[in-house]
Amino acid sequence: MKIRLACDLQTDSIVDGEGIRTVIWTQGCSHHCKGCHNPETHDHTKGIEVDVEDIKNKLSTLSNQDGITLSGGDPFFQVEASCEIAKYCKENDLNVWAYTGFTFEKLQEMSKNNSKLRDFMNNIDVLVDGKFELEKRSLNLKFKGSRNQRILDMHESLKCGKPVIMEEYNTEKTFLGYDCLAKEKEFMFI
Ligand code: SF4
C-alpha cells in the first residue's frame, strides 16, 4: 500500500504533540483554510509516493521517539494508509497524534458507513481537530494554531460519543513573558 507524503519523515519534533515525535507530513488537503501554513501540501497529486512498508521499516529503526504525529496535508484524505501506519505504531508502543481539518463530529458521521475510517479513529490517541481559522489564530496556543481547534482524547471521545477535550492543553499561555501575537501586530505597524 502506498501513501503520498509531502516530504520525508521528520524525527525529534517537540512542537507537533507531547514529547519527542516523528512527524509524517501527508500530502493532500481539500480544506483550504485561509492562512494555512502548508499550502504546498494541498495538491493531492504532488509530493512523493511512499510504500507504507518502507515507513514501518523506518519507524522500526528510530530510537528515543515517544510517538508519531500524522499531519499534513490532512491524513484523513488517505485513510487506509494512515490507518495502517497508526496501527503499526500502536502495536509498537508508539502513541499516535493526528491533525485534521475535519471536526470530530464530522468524522463520526463519515465513519458510520466507513469501517476503515472507524478503524483509523480507534488507533489514534490524540486528535487535533478543526480547520485553521485565521481570525482565531494565536501564537500562544500549545500544539494548535487557532482557538477553535480542539485537542481531544480520542479514546474517551469515542467512548462517550462526543468530543472530550484534554484540559492540560486547553490553555492559552503567554510564552517568553509577553504576548507573541500582540508583539507581531506591534511590529506590523512600525
Ligand atoms: S486542514 Fe491544515 S493543511 Fe489543510 S488547509 Fe487547513 S491548515 Fe492547511
User: What are the structural domains, with CATH classification, of the chain?
Assistant: 2-187 (3.20.20.70)
Ligand 1: centre distance to CA 33 (Å):
5
Ligand 1: centre distance to CA 168 (Å):
24
Residue 57, C-alpha cell as written in the block: 521499516
pLDDT at 171: 87
pTM reported for the whole predicted model: 0.91
Q: Could you list the beta-strand ranges (E) of 42-104.
A: 48-51, 67-71, 95-99
Q: In what order do the strands lie in the sheet with 126-129?
A: 10-13, 21-25, 67-71, 95-99, 126-129, 150-153
Each residue's pLDDT, cut to its tens digit, for the chain (190 residues) gives 999 999 999 999 999 999 999 999 999 999 999 999 999 999 999 999 999 999 999 999 999 999 999 999 999 999 999 999 999 999 999 999 999 999 999 999 999 999 999 999 999 999 999 999 999 999 999 999 999 999 999 999 999 999 999 999 998 876 555 555 555 544 444 3
Instruction: Tell me, rounded to whole angstroms, the distance of Cα 158 from its chain centroid.
Output: 17
User: Contact 41/7 with Cβ under 8 angstroms?
Assistant: no
38 CB near ligand 1 (under 6 Å): yes
Tell whether the torsion through CA atoms of 58, 155, 142 and 72 is positive or negative: positive
109-131 pLDDT tens trace = 999 999 999 999 999 999 999 99
The residue whose CB lies within 8 Å of the most ligand 1 atoms, and thus the one to mutate among 4, 26, 40, 41, is 41
Ligand 1: centre distance to CA 45 (Å):
16
